[in-house]
């Protein structure tokens, strides 16, 4: 089943503090907050503040941003006290992405899916 993008970027609303979120980490370029519909004991979304719709928008000029996503995931996992974890990113509507902004899911080991 192909998902459709939401018509609004709710992550931008969280970044701008227009809607509430349980923010666990923030820098000038990244924000991390708990998923409102968690699929694991720890389910945190890591979102760049720079508006990029999908991971297909990676280019030479923003490679460091994608590396920073993984670095922030490591930092947040340490803060949450989880040693092993899973990272997941849906890309584009046909890949299950719903929010039209790049984001990385940080999931504790209790998350199970068929890959």
Q: Which among 43, 88, 103, 105 is annotated as catalytic? A: 103
The residues, any chain, with a CB within 8 Å of residue 38's CB and separated by 6 or more, are none
For residue 2, name the pLDDT band (cuts at 50, 70, 90): low
Nearest alpha carbon to residue 32 among 87, 109, 83, 84: 87
Percent with pLDDT over 70 in the chain: 94
Distance CA 6, CA 105 (A): 18
- From residue 107, give the alpha-carbon distance in Å to each of 18, 31, 57, 112: 26, 16, 24, 10
In CATH, 10-107 is 3.30.428.10: yes
Q: Delimit the domains of the chain by residue range.
A: 10-107
Q: Is a pLDDT exceeding 90 seen at residue 115? A: no
pTM here?
0.90
Distance CA 49, CA 1 (A): 29
For residue 112, name the pLDDT band (cuts at 50, 70, 90): confident
Residue 88 known to be catalytic: no
For residue 4, name the pLDDT band (cuts at 50, 70, 90): confident
């Amino acid at each position: 089943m192909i998902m459709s993008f939401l018509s609004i970027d709710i992550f931008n609303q969280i970044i701008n503090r227009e809607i509430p979120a349980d923010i666990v980490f923030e820098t000038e370029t990244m924000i991390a907050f708990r998923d409102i519909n968690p699929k694991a004991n720890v389910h945190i979304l890591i979102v760049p503040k720079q508006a990029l719709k999908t991971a297909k928008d990676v280019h030479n000029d923003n490679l460091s941003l994608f590396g920073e996503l993984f670095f922030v995931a490591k930092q947040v996992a340490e803060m949450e006290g989880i040693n092993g974890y899973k990272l997941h990113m849906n890309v584009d509507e046909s890949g299950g992405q719903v929010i039209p902004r790049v984001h990385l899911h940080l999931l504790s080991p209790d998350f199970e899916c068929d890959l």
